[in-house]
Structure 1
């Protein structure tokens, strides 16, 4: 019985290791949390522009874009996104903009956001956002240069 438990434990450990190793090799184009396909953690990306604040989306107003599910707080916001997703989707797929400037990926927190030149940027946390804002224009140039390669 102990051998069965040891084998099962080893199999489970190796399966988890392979799962996380495989996901570490290539990032998805849109950041989603583990075991979720929600972009922007389910927040309405149009609301940042239209309401000036993060607003939770509703599953009744969902749309699949770039292999992620986007949720919106209203039919009007859903329609705006469908008409021009590149305008409303966060830059760098919703990954942390400061991390992208540093040549890596990190999760983007939908509560730590900025709109610069009519583009939405998310940051990892409040401290990172504070650093980001000290020289956002420089960081945007660096992140734009790094971005395509970070997903490989």
Structure 2
């Protein structure tokens, strides 16, 4: 019954980032697909909220690392390493060597966003 593909955000609920300001794992019984991608939610209420306006809740840059996008690189983000900027969810790489959110926060955020948006637009237009 459930879509056999892997869920976006490694199964974390996109609504929880906004409501709780923290990542929470969704449950496979509460799911939606949007733009061909599968999302899990913590509750039916969260699923219904997402279904009303999915664009509000999906991560920027197709779920790629925002810092990576700002430097024209594609990094797989850690879904627990995030920041909400102007009502949009941004995800960041985090591993033993690098915390991309830390790097992002040391930079001029407006400049990083402008670069990431430009690079994403180039990528999606190609």
The TM-score range, normalised by the shorter chain, is 0.7 to 0.9
Larger Rg: 1
Q: Measure the CA separation in 2 of the matches of 1:106 and 1:60.
A: 29
**Structure 1: tracts of 5 or more residues without a match:** 1-34
RMSD between aligned residues? 1.6
1:87 is matched with which residue: 42, 48, 56? 56
User: 1:148, CA displacement in angstroms?
Assistant: 2.6
User: 1:47, CA displacement in angstroms?
Assistant: 0.3
The number of residue pairs the alignment matches comes to 118
**Structure 2: tracts of 5 or more residues without a match:** none
Tell me if structure 2 keeps the 8 A contact 1:103–1:150.
no
Matched, 1:147 2:125: no
SS at match of 2:83: strand
Q: Measure the CA separation in 1 of the matches of 2:78 and 2:99.
A: 12
TM-score when normalising by structure 2: 0.87
Q: Measure the CA separation in 1 of the matches of 2:75 and 2:54.
A: 22
1:60 is matched with which residue: 14, 17, 29? 29
Higher helix share: 1
SS at match of 1:69: strand
TM-score when normalising by structure 1: 0.73
